Structure 1
Amino acid sequence: MQHLTEGLIVIKNLTHRYNAQQCALNDVNLTIGRGVFGLLGANGAGKSTLIRILCTMMSPTAGEVSICNYDLRQHRDQVRQLIGYLPQDFGAWPSQTVTEVIDTLAMLAGIKHKAERQRRIEWVLAAVGLDGVAGRKIKQLSGGMLRRVGVAQALVHDPKILIMDEPTVGLDPEERQRFRQLMTELAADRAIILSTHIVSDLGSACSDMALIHRGKLEFRGTPADLIAAAAGEVFELVCDAAGEVALTEQFEIVSRSRLGAADVLRGVVRQGNAPAGAVVAGDITLEEAYLAFAMKKERAVLQS
């Protein structure tokens, strides 16, 4: 996917405090263009706070946000027309059909004329692959289909920006793969922000990403950049059960496999260096790279 730098969203010095002790976002600067953008971080890192601010559900303590050249504080109504939002816990009326739900939400989005709503509904259901189940009731849908209904309602007013909070939670692997493919298709002419703690969602879908840790923007780049930053932090080691117990105190074991009577452990350094006898892994996954990066930041906090 081509990486475009045009700033549909421009965030400058964004800070949000819930109280004197709790700073959810600390001087965040970020520019987001067209394509699928991954917003990664552990639960409580500040992702949801940033999303609520972008969706005009809360105002920041300090800083500036521009959405398609509209200042978020001064032009909230215009910004809302430019954004489609899929919350983590999207729910719909179970006894209504897919078409009825999208029609109701299209009216709430400001599409008043019935003919225009019908045109938009037909378009959006085809776009998300639900045109074949338009008359099916919500309670009859699978988890993956329900998430597609959520995408449809976020897309029905044709926004320039789609924001999705933990969009693949609860989906099985096949549904998750279909969802990632859908995001890639929809991102051709808009910005899509995927906020998640599920690292695997980003590797195949995103060409650009950011990592928030303890309210700070700690990384901005491609998935390949994050993997490169973890060089030397992931190792493999053959050991017995007793050795494994000792290793877990200093290293994060991410996987294990059998080699004869011994285990082959794959781990990430928590502190210090890789254990004696370990081989530095060269084929680092994005999940391992994220874990290594987070542990580096935790070490820095403990040492400060």
Structure 2
Amino acid sequence: MELVIDNLSKTYANGVKALQNISLDIPTGMFGLLGPNGAGKSTLMRTIATLQEADQGSIKLGDIDVLQQKNELRQVLGYLPQQFGLYPKISAEVLLNHFAVLKGIINKKERQELVKALLHKTNLYDVRKQNLKGFSGGMKQRFGIAQALVNNPKLLIVDEPTAGLDPVERNRFYNLLSELGEKTVVILSTHIVDDVKELCTNMAIINKGQVCLKGKPLEILESLKGRVYQKTIEKSELNLYKENFQVISERLFLGKPTIHIVSNTNPGEGFTAINAELEDVYFSEIFNVTNAKSI
């Protein structure tokens, strides 16, 4: 199974070009969609999920024309949006059973077995009788995945799923998504680079509604091999370095900024060559698109 997006564009009534000729081939497995807030990730996810129309282009999941066969796509789609509501005074077991009814699973025994299996898969079986208002953020996210899996989807979309989760909950979520990606097309839309680094065998970076880069994370890292340098500087020097170098990231270390730059030649001046990380690739691509837009 493969999801093929071809020349997809969307412009909102206020003139914002949310998507500009997006083309992606997404195979079975975990696919990471990276980009800053406002890059167009959620617009793309909603369009794939048939929640809004595109201005032009096509999307196909196997033999399904997503933009023309919305009902067929919804039958094989699992979707966990960035924000979703839950009934706080209902237990996880009861609400998941309700979702199964809505998905057309009318046989009671079959439905009970499915709900039990999903609660085990998402590590929520022991709290199945607990009302959802008492769930932690990570537990709510895992319940969100459980409801998205009710119809055994061929395509699963998760939009910013680990934002706000503590490290333990995030690792649990990583393990769950990784297992699901073995047999399903899973799109993980996020601005957290570690999510993609830990999980995804294929990825794309989008910004300003455009695809900046796409490929396999390990192969993409090769594009910056031998070109990333690091230096710790004084705060007062930061603007000067930004004027003279391609500064792609900065972070504080012992109260001083440590900057990463991209350079085709050794810049000298106390810079140290470092191995490129996926985060460096991400910031480099965001830097390039942002500067191109400002010229």
> Normalising by the residue count of structure 1, what TM-score does the alignment of the two structures yield?
0.88
Which residue of 2 is the match for residue 257 of structure 1? 253
Written as runs of structure 1 = structure 2, the 5 A alignment for 1:1-304 is 6-7=1-2, 9-19=3-13, 21-231=15-225, 234-244=228-238, 246-247=240-241, 251-258=247-254, 265-268=258-261, 276-303=268-295
Q: Which runs of 5+ in 1 are unaligned?
A: 1-5
CA distance in structure 2 between the aligned counterparts of 1:297 and 1:284, rounded to whole angstroms:
19
Go from structure 1 to structure 2 and tell me whether the alpha carbon gap of 1:301 and 1:35 turns closer, same or farther (over 3 Å shift): same
Instruction: Assess if the C-alpha contact under 8 Å between 1:45 and 1:214 holds in 2.
Output: yes
Instruction: Assess if the C-alpha contact under 8 Å between 1:90 and 1:147 holds in 2.
Output: no
Instruction: Assess if the C-alpha contact under 8 Å between 2:81 and 2:159 holds in 1.
Output: yes
Instruction: Assess if the C-alpha contact under 8 Å between 1:253 and 1:266 holds in 2.
Output: yes
CA distance in structure 1 between the aligned counterparts of 2:76 and 2:11, rounded to whole angstroms:
26
Instruction: Assess if the C-alpha contact under 8 Å between 1:226 and 1:290 holds in 2.
Output: no
State the percentage of identical aligned residues.
Answer: 36
How large is the Cα RMSD of the aligned pairs? 2.4
In the alignment, residue 110 of structure 2 is paired with which amino acid? E
Measure how far apart 1:280 and its partner are.
Answer: 4.6
Instruction: Assess if the C-alpha contact under 8 Å between 1:232 and 1:280 holds in 2.
Output: no
Instruction: Find the residue that maps to 1:162 and give its secondary structure.
Output: strand
CA distance in structure 2 between the aligned counterparts of 1:14 and 1:159, rounded to whole angstroms:
23
Go from structure 1 to structure 2 and tell me whether the alpha carbon gap of 1:152 and 1:278 turns closer, same or farther (over 3 Å shift): same
User: Which stretch shows the higher mean deviation, 38-47 or 216-225?
Assistant: 216-225
CA distance in structure 1 between the aligned counterparts of 2:26 and 2:249, rounded to whole angstroms:
34
CA distance in structure 2 between the aligned counterparts of 1:298 and 1:252, rounded to whole angstroms:
11
Q: Which runs of 5+ in 2 are unaligned?
A: none
Instruction: Assess if the C-alpha contact under 8 Å between 2:226 and 2:275 holds in 1.
Output: no
Instruction: Assess if the C-alpha contact under 8 Å between 1:16 and 1:25 holds in 2.
Output: yes
Give the number of equivalent residue pairs. Answer: 293
Measure how far apart 1:245 and its partner are.
Answer: 6.0
Go from structure 1 to structure 2 and tell me whether the alpha carbon gap of 1:152 and 1:225 turns closer, same or farther (over 3 Å shift): same
Q: Deviations over 1:218-241 (max 9, x none)?
A: 211122233332345532224445
CA distance in structure 2 between the aligned counterparts of 1:268 and 1:178, rounded to whole angstroms:
34
User: Which stretch shows the higher mean deviation, 143-152 or 128-137?
Assistant: 128-137
User: Which stretch shows the higher mean deviation, 228-237 or 192-201?
Assistant: 228-237
Q: Deviations over 1:27-86 (max 9, x none)?
A: 111111111110111111111111111111112111111123111233211100111000
Instruction: Assess if the C-alpha contact under 8 Å between 2:230 and 2:274 holds in 1.
Output: no
Instruction: Find the residue that maps to 2:161 and give its secondary structure.
Output: coil
User: Which stretch shows the higher mean deviation, 138-147 or 152-161?
Assistant: 138-147
CA distance in structure 2 between the aligned counterparts of 1:174 and 1:32, rounded to whole angstroms:
29
Instruction: Assess if the C-alpha contact under 8 Å between 1:254 and 1:268 holds in 2.
Output: no
Q: Deviations over 1:178-217 (max 9, x none)?
A: 1111110111111111001111111010010011121111
